[in-house]
Amino acid sequence: MNKVTKLLHTRYRVNDLERTVKFYREVLGLEEVRRHKSPRGSELVFLKAPGSEEQIEITYYPGSGPVQVQPDLTHLAFEVDSLDEFAKHLAKLGIKYSDGPTTSSSGSTFAFIDAPEGYEIELIEKK
């Protein structure tokens, strides 16, 4: 029986590749794994969180028109040790949570920030 074995990466298309890559590196602390141009001309940058295998593919492909992210369309979720400490890190960068922190029924706390292009980033402090 054929079936997939693991999730490798998720793609997000953006209007400003370098601004977005800078955000993911400086704000979230992701590392750039590789960068290349596809045969059809897309510029691709792969990033990953230090404790994850899955990668995020940030793609710039102006030939398909501008990116317009609808509210609540999609988001990426990352685990953090402390939302309070992460808020201090964000404050140094002039960024605030766009929603939360909120405690769930399971006891975990979560908050959101907005990435360039309007994609949401969920930050989760597990209990």
Point out the catalytic residue in the list 18, 32, 122, 125. Answer: 122
Angstrom CA distances, 2 to 5, 7, 54, 114, stand at: 9, 15, 21, 38
53 is catalytic: no
Structure tokens belonging to residue 90: 């964000």
pLDDT of residue 63: 87
pLDDT of residue 91: 96
Stretches where the chain sits below pLDDT 50 are none
pLDDT of residue 84: 95
pLDDT digit string, tens, across residues 76-93 = 999 999 999 999 999 999
